[in-house]
Structure formats: C-alpha cells, structure tokens
Amino acid sequence: MKFENYNFGREIKLNISKLGYKKPTDIQFKAIPPILKGEDVMAIAQTGTGKTAAFAIPVLHLLQKSRRAAEKGIRCIVMVPTHELALQITDVFETIGNQTGIRILCIHGGVEQAPQIAELENGVDVLVATPGRVFDLVSQGFLKLDSIEILILDEADHMLDLGFIKDIRDLIKFLPHKRQTLFFSATLNDTIKKLAYSLVHNPIRIQISPKDPVAKNIEHFVAYIDMDDKRFFLERLVLENPESKILVFVRTKVRAERVYKTLERATIKSLTLHSDKVQTERAKIMTDFRSGEAKVMIATDISARGIDIPDVDFVVNYDLPEQVENYVHRVGRTGRGTKKGLAYSFCSPEEKIILAEIEEFLGKHISVLEISKKNYTATIELAEDNEDDWKTLMKTAETQDRPRKKK
C-alpha cells in the first residue's frame, strides 16, 4: 500500500511526498492503522526502521482531524531520553505537520527554561520533551498535562538506562487515565516489559524482525586488533575512505578525547560527542557532522543513542560495548531506511568474551576480517611514518618560530 492511498489530510500527504516517502516501512505499515483507530500500541523495532514517522504521521492526522482551536492545552506529549533525539523528533513532526496548523514545541534540559515557559503559554498541541525538564516544569506549576490525549514514549529502553524510570512513573500521575499510549523501544527486557504493561491498555503488540535485532542491510565485520594498535587501524580506515562519513564508538569520554588527539596528530579532522559537552557544543557538533563539515565523529553510547544522522557509511566499534544491547543501537546508526551500511568492530584479546556475548545476542557469528601479519605490520608502520612526518613538521615549525640571535 502506498502513502497516497491512505486517508490523510492534503497537507500531510503533500509533506510526506516532499520527503520522498512512497511506501511505508514495515513498522509504519503495522503501526499506522491501530494508531488511527485510537488503540494503544507497544512496538519493538530496531533503530533505523522509520519508527518516528510510524507514530508522527497518524498522530498528526488525528490531531488535525479533531482540531480544537479554542483550547490551549497540550494534546500529545512525546517523551524521549536525550536532547538530540528530542530535537530530531521535533523536526520530523514539524516537517510532516507543515501547514496543518498543529503547534509543536520541543523542551529539554541544558538551556534556560524561561523561553520554553513563554512558548507553552502561547499554546502547544504536540510537546516533545525529555522527562527531567517535563518533571521540573510540572513541579513548578508551569506545565499542565491534564488535557493529554496521546502519550508517546520513544527509546523507552534508553530512558530506563539513563535512570528516567522514576520521573516517568511520577509524570504518569499527572496524565488523564483515559488516553492513547504508544510505547516504542528497540529492545525488550523484563523491566521494560513491566513498564510498558503498566502504561498501555490492551495494546496492539508489534515486533519487527524479532529474531534479527539488527537491520538486514548492514554488513558486519570484526577485526582482531590489539588494544594499543586500534588507533593505527582507525587512521588507515579514515585515510582510505576520505569521502565517507564515519561514526566511531568508544567506551568512555576519556577514550573519546584520546582517539580525537590521535587523529589530530595524523591531520584528520574529527569531532567528539560525550557528556562533558554543553548543549550549544552538542548542537554545533551534530550540525557539523550531519553537513559533512567533519567526516569523523567519536562518541560514547549515551551521547549518540537514538540520533538520526543521514548517510553514515561506517560505524566503527573502536571499543566493544559493555552492554550487548548497545551493539544494536550503535550499528543502527548506519544502513538506515533502505541504504546499505558497514559496521566494523575492533576486538582486542581481552574483548573476545564480549564479542561472544554479542554474537549470542544476535543469534549469529560476525564475519571475521582477516588481516595478514604483513598487512598488520604495514598498517602500524604507515601510521608511525605519518606520525614521524608530523613530528618533523612540528620541529621545523618550532625552529622557524624561534627568534634569531642578533649578530
């Protein structure tokens, strides 16, 4: 079934067409009908399958169809775990809802709340927000949730990881009991399942590719590389693919900065995204990476989870994730929609146990990228030569900068 055959409003259909959407993805095809019927939905779908549009399209249609212009209360709230995801989802709502008259606002922490309060007073239909900021504004009396018709929780598993579970449970008390609830998550464990069933009522359960948590259009490879040698192989990958957009995952923010310094020494421009970055920095980093101003971004799991970055060619697991579920979220940054993607994991001897756990979680082995002893040595020597060249240039520059002695 094509989008043109759905009974959406003219503006929504036109906006969908402008985005180049012809046919719904699996999650969209299965989620849109029950949402339009007003049913609760619990959807488990891997990242990159188009789940934001799966709820944004029908919700915008429902709100436009039953417009209540005289009222200023919030009709739909979308709760997400991170600033970046909140901004991203807001953009989707605004793009698909263009010219519909639906008022959309994004609020999150890390910025002044006064402008957000002023926007709320002007009236909002759809509020996209992080739980912490919502809870703050509700507690202060600036935000009323008693007119909510639709509650959407996206990336619910990540909200749990970040400790938002108490905020969510506390916020539910302020919502009307009679409402439509849409629950979206990439993974499902017992805790997430318990949370979901405490929020939804007789839900339509949708699960996309339950036996394969990772999109099929991503090719996976693992290379066995000693921990201290990983920097050489990352440098080589970047240099051999100068036009490719590469997202590199590391375990900690300290590691992110170290890898950044390594690439900097090789005159490779890169960006880092982690919890030490303030909101203005994070926004600039995301803009530069999305636009291709910088082709390499080094990120930690918490910082990059759920963000939609177009045209990522490679995901590199510089460090294997400590939580196996994060492998799914990491590699899901590439191969989005119908595009192909490549995921490379650098596995050191001490990480082989983690690799085995990841393969068990995926239900299959990851193809090994064989590196001959000759190529392994050559990669290190090439990087060391580049480093020596860099040191020579630095020494030359220092010599030139020294003040000359007067004769």
The per-residue pLDDT for range 212-257, each reduced to its tens digit, is: 666 678 899 999 999 999 999 999 999 999 999 999 999 999 999 9
pLDDT above 70: residue 88: yes
Q: Rounding to the nearest 10 degrees, give the CA dihedral for residues 142, 145, 150, 151.
A: 80
Q: How far is CA 274 from CA 85, 109, 278, 280, 304, in A?
A: 14, 16, 9, 13, 8
User: What pLDDT score does 311 carry?
Assistant: 86
d(CA 120, CA 332): 34
Give pLDDT tens digits for 281-321. 888 998 899 889 999 999 998 766 666 787 899 999 999 99
Farthest CA pair distance, the chain: 91
d(CA 337, CA 343): 16
Instruction: Find residue 206's DSSP bridge partners.
Output: 43
Q: How far is CA 206 from CA 26, 44, 60, in A?
A: 10, 6, 21
Q: How are beta strands 150-153 and 180-185 bridged, if at all?
A: parallel
pLDDT above 90: residue 328: no
H or E element that contains 85: helix 83-96
249 neighbors 317 (Cβ within 8 angstroms): yes
337 neighbors 50 (Cβ within 8 angstroms): yes
Comparing 47-51, 95-99, 118-122, 139-143, the range with the smallest average pLDDT is 47-51
154 neighbors 51 (Cβ within 8 angstroms): yes
User: What pLDDT score does 394 carry?
Assistant: 42
Mean pLDDT of the chain: 86
> Which is higher by pLDDT, 251 or 403?
251
Mean pLDDT of the region 16-36: 93
Residue in the block written with tokens 């999109």: 215
User: What pLDDT score does 82 carry?
Assistant: 84
Number of neighbouring beta carbons within 10 Å of residue 177: 6
pLDDT above 60: residue 391: no
Q: Kindly indicate the confidence band of residue 381, based on its pLDDT and cuts at 50, 70 and 90.
A: confident
Give pLDDT tens digits for 134-193. 988 998 999 999 999 999 999 888 787 767 888 888 888 899 989 999 999 877 778 888
Domains along the chain? 3-207 (3.40.50.300), 218-386 (3.40.50.300)
Comparing 58-67, 181-190, 310-319, 382-391, the range with the smallest average pLDDT is 382-391
User: What pLDDT score does 383 carry?
Assistant: 75
User: What pLDDT score does 396 carry?
Assistant: 44
User: What pLDDT score does 306 carry?
Assistant: 62
d(CA 249, CA 317): 5
pLDDT above 50: residue 128: yes
- Residue-wise burial string across 54-70, b where 16 or more C-beta atoms lie within 10 A, e elsewhere: bbbbbbbbbbbeeeeee
User: What pLDDT score does 324 carry?
Assistant: 85
Which tokens hold the place of 250? Answer: 């590391």
